[in-house]
Amino acid sequence: MNPAAAPLELHPDRALPAEPGVRAIAREILTETEPLPIVSMHGHVEVSVFVADAPFPDPATLFIRPDHYLTRMLGSQGIGRRELLGDPERPLDARATWRLFCENWRLFRGTPTRYWLEDVLAGVLGVTEQPAATSADRLFDQVSARLAEPGFRPVALLDRFGIEIISTTDAAWDDLAGHQELARRLGGSRVPPTFRPDALLAVAAPDWRQRLARLEAAAEREVGDYDSFLSALEDRREHFIAAGARATDHAAVSADTTPLGRADASRLFARALAGEATAAEQQAFWAHMIFEFARMSCRDGLTMQFHPGSLRDYLPSVHDTWGPDVGYDLPVAMDYTRGLRPLLEAFGHQPGFRFIVFTLDEDTFSRELAPLAGVFPAMRLGAPWWFLDTRDGMRRYREAVTDAAGFYNTTGFVDDTRAFCSIPARHNLARRVDAGFLAGLVAEHRLPLDEAVETAVDLAYHLPKAAYPPIARQG
């Protein structure tokens, strides 16, 4: 019999400040926020997971395949993607992949991946020993058995995790049948869709016309020019609103929001239809459409999320074999002050417009984003996101933005994950970081304890709900 691995235990003070006096205050604040429901309005769990409501097949498929943090760390140590993800010619060997992960558990020391996984393994699944070569098969069998229990199916976990609402992210042409089914089954809009049209902005991509054809089919109209393209997108937004959508989601390489003149936009779109659009024209069209989507949000009320700054699919050969989101997206530097100026000049004071900006470039938090959010009523700061959603990254965020933007120009935590079981761990970490930051203000006599508690509750629950309100006009 294999010897036992090291014990796996969750310390009640994990991620709280080390100084005893501040830690005691943080504990008191955390007591008020830990039980609060989770509002998860920026996520990537597929709606099909909840519609099928099937048991998760095995630990490797649940924990390894959807977590790009995990695969990039293992890949950086020379472990091939085929061993981690399988490939079209060789399906994933789940047990062998799990062994690789357990054998390399040491690589995750000090990382958020280890924090989240410890929380899930110990707190949710009842695992009492750390992943290791000696425990890999035991853990695989133990976790597999637990995942087969009815209480660990996706819909049951919504209640177990205290998730009040969890959004998905959906292509502009999605029929949203799954969301409609869940609305009937679960009642209300617990799993709303989020409108993401990015694929339609890549007008120089070789398969752009195929994507456009999917939009035409969904909108039931021919898109033969720029005006009909805009109309089709507006129709799809209405379809999303009717299905309970509260937000849109937009990525870009740069923060540019410079609009084109109507004639220039029409000419560029015609070149795209002819298959002649260049990479530079695509960039200009993308910036123009971000401006246009802000205009649409002012009209239909959808909260607009903008997260530029990722150079996606950095290694095309990996994308061609395994697709997107397997760890080869890299941050690039941003210029928000100039990039967002056209959009904010036009819509930054528009009543009812909600514009949430995220970043991968944390240098911009205090230099650009907090001052912008601190003056434009429409703009709010998104939470630390992707590479920054760590204990120290979230702490740096609060230190960087609070002076200029305060707490109430931020929108609470977003988990931005496909790793469903890590959602409560991620939100809990954010609540611990905020409790620690606020406890420091109390200890320094900069904020009374009652106000710190109220602020922590707002950050954890009320601010995300206010940033993504239900849209009164349905259908």
DSSP assignment of 18-53, as one string?
A: SSHHHHHHHHHHHHHHTTSPEEE-S----HHHHHH-
Look up the CATH number of the domain holding residue 250. Answer: 3.20.20.140
What is the C-alpha separation between 8 and 117, in angstroms, rounded?
A: 11
Q: Are residues 26 and 113 in the same domain?
A: no
Q: Return the pLDDT at 65.
A: 77
Q: Are strands 303-308 and 355-357 parallel, antiparallel or unpaired?
A: parallel
Q: Are residues 218 and 311 in the same domain?
A: yes
> What mean pLDDT is predicted for residues 467-471?
92
CB atoms within 10 A of CB 222: 9
Give domain status of residue 15, yes or no: no
Closest among 357, 421, 352, 345 to 385, alpha carbons compared? 357
Dihedral sign for Cα atoms in the order 423, 417, 380, 368? positive
388 lies in which domain range?
20-56+150-467
Q: Provide the pLDDT confidence category of residue 84 given band limits of 50, 70 and 90.
A: confident
As a whole-number percent, the residues of the chain with pLDDT over 90 amount to 83
Task: Provide the token pair at 124.
Answer: 């949710």
Instruction: Tell me the Cα Rg of the chain.
Output: 23
pLDDT at residue 274 tops 80: yes
Q: Are residues 246 and 108 in the same domain?
A: no
Check: CB of residue 335 under 8 Å from CB of residue 359: no
Give domain status of residue 11, yes or no: no
Sequence-ordered list of residues with C-beta below 8 angstroms from that of 223, at least 6 positions apart, any chain: 212, 215, 216, 229, 232
Q: Provide the pLDDT confidence category of residue 2 given band limits of 50, 70 and 90.
A: low
472 compared with 356, residue with greater pLDDT: 356
Given 97, 128, 149, the domain boundary residue is: 149
Q: Are residues 51 and 81 in the same domain?
A: no
CB atoms within 10 A of CB 54: 10
Give domain status of residue 379, yes or no: yes
Q: Provide the pLDDT confidence category of residue 88 given band limits of 50, 70 and 90.
A: low
Q: Are residues 145 and 161 in the same domain?
A: no
Q: Return the pLDDT at 67.
A: 80
Q: Return the pLDDT at 474.
A: 44
Q: Provide the pLDDT confidence category of residue 472 given band limits of 50, 70 and 90.
A: low
Q: Are residues 352 and 253 in the same domain?
A: yes
pTM of the model: 0.94
Given 108, 127, 149, the domain boundary residue is: 149
> What mean pLDDT is predicted for residues 352-362?
96
pLDDT at residue 1 tops 50: no
3-state helix vs strand vs coil in the chain, percent to 5? 55, 10, 40
The predicted-structure confidence for 22-59, as pLDDT tens digits, reads as follows 999 999 999 999 999 999 999 899 999 999 999 999 99
Q: Are residues 136 and 168 in the same domain?
A: no
> What mean pLDDT is predicted for residues 62-84?
83
What is the C-alpha separation between 339 and 255, in angstroms, rounded?
A: 5
72 compared with 238, residue with greater pLDDT: 238
Give domain status of residue 8, yes or no: no
Look up the CATH number of the domain holding residue 71. Answer: 1.10.2020.10
Q: Are residues 279 and 323 in the same domain?
A: yes
Q: Provide the pLDDT confidence category of residue 475 given band limits of 50, 70 and 90.
A: very low
The predicted-structure confidence for 104-114, as pLDDT tens digits, reads as follows 999 999 999 99
Average pLDDT taken over every residue of the chain: 93
Check: CB of residue 169 under 8 Å from CB of residue 44: yes
The predicted-structure confidence for 142-158, as pLDDT tens digits, reads as follows 999 999 999 999 999 99
Q: Are residues 75 and 219 in the same domain?
A: no
Give domain status of residue 13, yes or no: no
Range of lowest pLDDT (42-46, 185-189, 413-417): 185-189
Give domain status of residue 4, yes or no: no
As a whole-number percent, the residues of the chain with pLDDT over 70 amount to 96
User: What's the total number of domains in the chain?
Assistant: 2
Q: Are residues 237 and 304 in the same domain?
A: yes
> What mean pLDDT is predicted for residues 199-210?
96
Give domain status of residue 237, yes or no: yes
Q: Are residues 129 and 168 in the same domain?
A: no
Given 115, 149, 183, the domain boundary residue is: 149
The predicted-structure confidence for 301-340, as pLDDT tens digits, reads as follows 999 999 999 887 777 877 776 677 666 788 899 999 999 9
Q: Are residues 444 and 327 in the same domain?
A: yes
Give domain status of residue 43, yes or no: yes
CB atoms within 10 A of CB 457: 17
What is the C-alpha separation between 199 and 182, in angstroms, rounded?
A: 26
